[in-house]
Amino acid sequence: MTFGRLNPQFRLEDQGIEGLGNVYYNYMEPALVETALKNGEGTLGNGGAFLTSTGKYTGRSPKDKFVVKTDSVKDTIWWEENAAMSPAHFDALYADFLSHMQDKDYHVQDLVGGADPRHSINVRMVTELAWHGLFIRTMLRRPDREDLDDFTADYTVINCPSFVADPKKHGCRSEVVIALNFDRKLILIGGTEYAGENKKSVFTLLNYLLPEKGIMPMHCSANHAKGNPVDTAVFFGLSGTGKTTLSADPDRVLIGDDEHGWSDQGTFNFEGGCYAKTINLDPEAEPEIYATTTKFGTVIENMVFDPDTKELDFADDSLAANMRCAYPLHYISNASQSSIGGHPKNIIMLTCDAFGVLPPIARLTPAQAMYHFLSGFTAKVAGTERGVTEPQPTFSTCFGAPFMPRRPEVYGNLLREKIAKHGATCWLVNTGWTGGAYGTGSRMPIRATRALLTAALEGSLVSAEFRKDPNFGFEVPVSVPGVAEVLLDPRRTWDDKAAYDAQATKLVQMFSDNFEPYLPYIDADVKSVAIG
């Protein structure tokens, strides 16, 4: 049977998905929470938050993600990074999905990816779990209720955690599969309860579609000055680098925490919610994010809690280091109502340097910005991906290689053109280690990072005295009010200066080795600033 509100001409049956049990269309938050609790999918927490576990998989499965290699996309996909699946294997996978779904209840959410209606896509999410429906309703943008009456989807995502993939039959790698078919406008997710796969599948779609329109898709957070959307800043970075925390500045207006586009009109958020890591979440340093963990409908993933009081333990990572909360943007008091800003005035590239070598902030030339964007250096932090239990130095081009279907130069050239056209100032910010590498040093003080970012965004940092870093060639401020000068020179923070020099040499070589494959695709000015 069918329940809920939908376009009567756009049922699952109209899409060829038949023989299901009950189908619940566009249930709102109270009904989704009620259904999830009734189904035993989780527990009601303080304030009405929904507490749940994602089971075996507590992070993304990037090696289980595939793009179907059809004639229309075979020459535009970056196959070195995106695993291919044959159309025949996808057809077999889809047939088995439909068979698996027979007689089971499903939840449908008709949603939008993109705050700017000129560039948004309509997405239908079909989920086996009610709480996945709650999660994606929180994370994507919700149409007005009356707009559901004639909603049709550009793309459909089907998520069946109970489905077990067969590598031999389906052309995949394991029991988990994420398969994108651009021709069929269909994404299949199976074998994992980790909800982040839902939102990242839509991000990957937009990363493929938008460059054809001259729009730069960005794995970044964004905010703007109060009362002045023209003064917009974007924060590139992989998970764990501080995108969510640093963009949620109470003195600025939050546009979004993870995924944005940069069009000829300005910056716009892809999403309608935020997905924040909660390990060691500090109510003093991050009060607004902390407060969302006791608000109705916030999804709390993989957190330990007291069975009687439902109090959350923000320090206990025994379920997963990748513990998270998903909440709607309007739960942040200074969030933008439109989720749209101007052209970025400042571009911040966040990195979590596990070597303890990079300074807390450095100013980049446009050529250096493209170099660091293509390099995408950071450390994978514990729990973000399956098998990552401690920080691992890595290079993820465009600060999001797992989500980039096209070659990185496509995104790099778009970024370069937009920086040149709109005159953005670019900064590299290290939120990783200082005083030594991971295991010896300590994490960069968040108060220092915030002070440096405030100086950069307010414009005072531009007039500071800078020195040229001998290893990386970028400019580093010599002193900034409110920040200990020793932090600005990472070599001084190490007790063993020779050990620092050895680590710096090692990191320089890593940058050099990583960037070599890009040299044939870049211009001379970027080659001239290549490290090493």
Pairing of the two strands 106-113 and 83-85: unpaired
Residue 133: phi, psi to the nearest 5? -65, -40
Q: Which residues have a Cβ under 8 Å from the Cβ of 102 and sit 6 or more positions away?
A: 19, 20
Residue 275: phi, psi to the nearest 5? -135, 90
Structural contact between residues 86 and 69, judged by C-beta atoms closer than 8 angstroms: yes
3-state helix, strand, coil in the chain (%, to 5): 35, 25, 40
Residues annotated as catalytic are: 60, 200, 219, 239, 243-244, 258, 324
Q: Residue type for 467, please?
A: R
Nearest to 130 by CA among 107, 111, 114: 107
- Enumerate the H helices of 305-458 as residue ranges: 366-375, 408-422, 446-458
Interatomic CA distance for residues 275 and 281, integer angstroms? 13
Interatomic CA distance for residues 229 and 344, integer angstroms? 9
Q: Which residues have a Cβ under 8 Å from the Cβ of 351 and sit 6 or more positions away?
A: 237, 241, 358, 377, 378, 428, 429, 430, 431, 432
Structural contact between residues 304 and 380, judged by C-beta atoms closer than 8 angstroms: no
